[in-house]
Structure 1
Amino acid sequence: MIQVYNTLTRQKEIFKPLTTGVVNMYVCGPTVYNYIHIGNARSAIAFDTIRRYFEFRHYHVNYVSNFTDVDDKMIKQARRDGITVPELAAKFIKAFDEDTAALNIEPATVRPRATENIPDIVAFIQVLLDKGYAYVAAGDVYYRARKFAHYGELSDQNIDQLEQGASEHTVDEETQRKEDPIDFALWKAAKPGEIAWSAPWGQGRPGWHIECSVMATKYLGDTFDIHGGGQDLEFPHHENEIAQSEAKTGQKFANYWLHNGFVTIGDDDEKMSKSLGNFVTVHDLIQQVDPQTLRFFMATTQYRRPIRYSEATLKEAANNLQKLRIALDNLSYRQKDVAAGLDPEIEQQLTKLTAAFIAAMDDDFNVQNGMTEVYELAKLMNIYSEQQVVREATLNHLLSSFTMWLQIFGVSFQPKALLAADIEQLLQDRQTARANKDYQRSDEIRDLLKAQGIVLEDTAQGTRWRRK
């Protein structure tokens, strides 16, 4: 049974989906005014890994993740760039698609944009106005936070102690228009020259929080299984989503709330963010680092724990990834020389490793403990590849398990095809040279292959190869 840590209840709970065999999941996506940094990528990778594990456990996952494609930051950035807000959004949605594809993040089942759902947002706000949970002030529409009885429960805050300006999307000039400093904007009246849409209360654009409430309930229903996002979204964003959604529908919004930890940087473990100016974009980093290494680095830390980013931690991830690649290459090489049947002793060890892997991952997606079993499987594969007799069925079971487990972490190694005819000939020439004790020629062939990125390993079973 899969257990998840529910931020709302602050405890682990057995996951029970609303529909057997189906997971309905909403994860807050980016505001598309810049390239995503690796802190943003951490959330996308964490929930992609969770999604993949649910699928590994035979769930069908409906995964909805939005784009915020209009807000104050986007309006300012578009003005600085001399383009329209839609043009800015199009540019960085394309960049997001390219960067996340490089990290092997599966596209969401549905990827709605705020600007594509304006009529639904307006209708949602009208219900809140009709119910008395919202009010119009000088063209803006605000939500009465104190009217919602459970406000503050997700983030474990006392409503009487909450201070004005909790949301970065609220500016000081709004204070006089609000009935209460903790009220938050559902709709913002347009200033001259700004992008805007029509609503019964005037021209404007949606507030940040209302977008996710509308898109989550539109595509997943009034109540769904999992809502995810970064820890920084617990308050005010997710708190506000709950308040406005449950006030509108009268139903529980999401059954489980999952939040991923931050990426930190520097000796003082400072949170990485655009506002602090200490961020590294994925767009730049994947020009310097193998994207699969970055994916592996982030996917192998349990989602609720912080990740400390540095060149040293990236290098360690690259080294570990290479060890796994070698284990796959070693066993794949033996596919040329297998006996029929299976090996009961190895099969028994694989069964134990599989049970331990599932137990670890079922425990709130504990990827560190899960990776322990992956490394144990790699060790078993290396040992088995050295045996004189390798059984075909067992070899395939090992390779299949190893491949499926790594795919959960977004890692995919392609077993190498046979060497090209010219390289095969070089290997034969090298064998002949060694037999004739022509070691100079043997070394020349090894160096030639090395120049092509091929490393040779002489073993008792013959010469095998791997790429650097």
Structure 2
Amino acid sequence: MRSWSGPPVPSLADGGLGTGPVPVVHDTAAGEARTLDGEGDARLYVCGITPYDATHLGHAATYLTFDLLQRAWLDQGRGVSYTQNVTDVDDPLLERATATGIDWVELAERETQLFREDMAALRILPPEHYIGAVESIDLVVDLVERLKKAGAVYAVDDDLYFEVHADPGFGSVSGWDAAAMARIFAERGGDPERPGKRDPLDCLLWQAERPGEPAWDSRLGRGRPGWHIECAAIALAHLGTDFDVQGGGSDLVFPHHEMSASEASVATGERFARSYVHAGMVGFEGEKMSKSKGNLVLVSGLRAAGHDPMAIRLALLSHHYRSDWEWFDEEITAAEARLAAWRRAVDRPTAAPAGPVVAAMRAALADDLDAPAALAAVDAWAAASGDDTAATTQLRTAVDALLGVAL
């Protein structure tokens, strides 16, 4: 699957500003901060969209989180190998296609393209590997067969299920107890009450063909992948085991990231990911922003209304990635004022030295991607005066490299 075009990321080292520190982030599984050090390219997997509607601000906030992480790694001088999936066949997509009378393939292609356009407009760095579920069916089948050899697969009717307790570490990503898992599993696409399952939490690996639904021939029979095994298979194929970060929204902690990690660990005998990083939820008028609630604020809608994508980006950056927050119309107004102030500042012939504010931005981002603190540092610089003739060029480059904002 084709990714989107990303902007070049300038090197601050080339401008005489050295390199940044190793980033530290909050690891959900550990429940504490973790330093993301290591040798070679950093390996990042972020769960992608199910393309049955346009990109809302919750999506954008999540992918912006991992854009910042990539920029922190690049500023450190480390390369990044980034993989993201597209769940281009799944129940929500098929249900929306039926409800709207649109072919499911056409709907998925249309919304994936709109997502690409939104990501490019927001200057989100693209994944090296952008992989759809449909094109990964062979990978899924191979992984299910490895799980079969490990004795962790059983059939319910013609569907195949993963026995979650085949993994002694099951539950270590979320840290939740069985009651909490069962409740959330039912709310997030699971089927804890299905007769024939060995454990209510066992999850679907391969769904046998249903009348009127898409299916593919395979060694497992005719059918299609379950959700969790899709990401496990794609991540293992493109990043291997023990990769640096598994990322996504906090609503993916359980069951999605828990299940994917267990499936991969049982199949390989190795750790799936070293750290799990999750972005908070974005609400609107007191509720979580979601397609099902019909309360989406769309990136494409803001763009169509004439809002500068850099202002949209700044509005999102004004909230710490781990916080849950609500969108109000005042968000974009404040972000546009901030963007205008920064652009006026970098258009001056002289300004305060850039070194201290670049150091403050780097320190903020290295401290659990604290974008609001980085923005405050630039605000203070923009409000100050000075006689450094090189500062404005250096700041323009730093804001581009570290925050992804084109001034």
Same fold (TM over 0.5): yes
**Residue identity in the other structure for 2:157:** A
User: In structure 1, what is the equivalent of residue 190 of structure 2?
Assistant: 170
User: In structure 2, what is the equivalent of residue 16 of structure 1?
Assistant: 37
Mapping 1:86-235, distance limit 5 Å: 86-159=105-178, 162-163=181-182, 165-166=185-186, 168-171=188-191, 175-235=194-254
Superposition deviation, residue 353 in structure 1? 2.9
User: In structure 2, what is the equivalent of residue 367 of structure 1?
Assistant: 371
> Are residues 1:302 and 2:316 paired?
no
User: In structure 2, what is the equivalent of residue 64 of structure 1?
Assistant: 83
Superposition deviation, residue 171 in structure 1? 4.6
Query: 1: CA distance between counterparts of 2:358 and 2:346?
Result: 17
Taking only aligned residues, the RMSD between alpha carbons, in angstroms, comes to 2.0
Contact in 1 for aligned 2:181/2:255 (Cα 8 Å): no
Contact in 2 for aligned 1:217/1:223 (Cα 8 Å): no
**Residue identity in the other structure for 1:106:** L
State the secondary structure of the residue aligned to 2:130: coil
1:6-61 Cα deviation digits (max 9, x unpaired): 111010122222x34x2110001100111121111111112112212221222211
Q: Measured at CA, do residues 257 and 199 of structure 1 come closer, stay the same or move farther in structure 2, by a change above 3 Å?
A: same
Q: Measured at CA, do residues 357 and 214 of structure 1 come closer, stay the same or move farther in structure 2, by a change above 3 Å?
A: same
User: In structure 2, what is the equivalent of residue 280 of structure 1?
Assistant: 297
Stretches of structure 1 that go unaligned for 5 or more consecutive residues are 335-342, 385-389, 414-468
**Residue identity in the other structure for 1:255:** R
**Residue identity in the other structure for 1:322:** A
Superposition deviation, residue 406 in structure 1? 4.1
**Residue identity in the other structure for 2:94:** I
User: In structure 2, what is the equivalent of residue 85 of structure 1?
Assistant: 104
> Are residues 1:396 and 2:390 paired?
yes
Superposition deviation, residue 161 in structure 1? 5.5
Percent of paired sites with the same residue: 33
Query: 2: CA distance between counterparts of 1:209 and 1:196?
Result: 17
> Are residues 1:409 and 2:403 paired?
yes
State the secondary structure of the residue aligned to 2:247: strand
Using the size of structure 2 for normalisation, the TM-score is 0.89
Query: 2: CA distance between counterparts of 1:96 and 1:351?
Result: 36
Query: 1: CA distance between counterparts of 2:397 and 2:190?
Result: 47
Contact in 1 for aligned 2:43/2:245 (Cα 8 Å): yes
Query: 1: CA distance between counterparts of 2:195 and 2:165?
Result: 17
User: In structure 2, what is the equivalent of residue 320 of structure 1?
Assistant: 338
Mapping 1:338-357, distance limit 5 Å: 347=353, 350-357=354-361
1:188-238 Cα deviation digits (max 9, x unpaired): 111112110123332111001111001111111122111110000000000
State the secondary structure of the residue aligned to 2:43: strand
Superposition deviation, residue 65 in structure 1? 1.0
Using the size of structure 1 for normalisation, the TM-score is 0.78
Between 1 and 2, higher relative CO (CA 8 Å, sep ≥ 6) is seen in 2
Query: 2: CA distance between counterparts of 1:351 and 1:100?
Result: 30
State the secondary structure of the residue aligned to 1:31: coil
Query: 2: CA distance between counterparts of 1:354 and 1:407?
Result: 11
Aligned residues: 384
State the secondary structure of the residue aligned to 1:264: strand
User: In structure 2, what is the equivalent of residue 431 of structure 1?
Assistant: none
Stretches of structure 2 that go unaligned for 5 or more consecutive residues are 1-21
Aligned partner (choices 50, 53, 57) of residue 34 of structure 1: 53
Contact in 2 for aligned 1:28/1:66 (Cα 8 Å): yes
User: In structure 2, what is the equivalent of residue 252 of structure 1?
Assistant: 271
1:291-335 Cα deviation digits (max 9, x unpaired): 22111110232211223210112211111111111111223xx6x
Query: 2: CA distance between counterparts of 1:26 and 1:185?
Result: 21
**Residue identity in the other structure for 1:373:** A
User: In structure 2, what is the equivalent of residue 437 of structure 1?
Assistant: none
User: In structure 2, what is the equivalent of residue 377 of structure 1?
Assistant: 381
Superposition deviation, residue 160 in structure 1? 5.9
Contact in 1 for aligned 2:191/2:200 (Cα 8 Å): no
Q: Measured at CA, do residues 291 and 353 of structure 1 come closer, stay the same or move farther in structure 2, by a change above 3 Å?
A: closer
Q: Measured at CA, do residues 124 and 167 of structure 1 come closer, stay the same or move farther in structure 2, by a change above 3 Å?
A: farther
Q: Measured at CA, do residues 188 and 7 of structure 1 come closer, stay the same or move farther in structure 2, by a change above 3 Å?
A: same
Query: 2: CA distance between counterparts of 1:360 and 1:410?
Result: 15
Larger Rg: 1
**Residue identity in the other structure for 1:327:** A
Query: 2: CA distance between counterparts of 1:371 and 1:94?
Result: 31
Query: 2: CA distance between counterparts of 1:399 and 1:244?
Result: 49
**Residue identity in the other structure for 1:399:** T
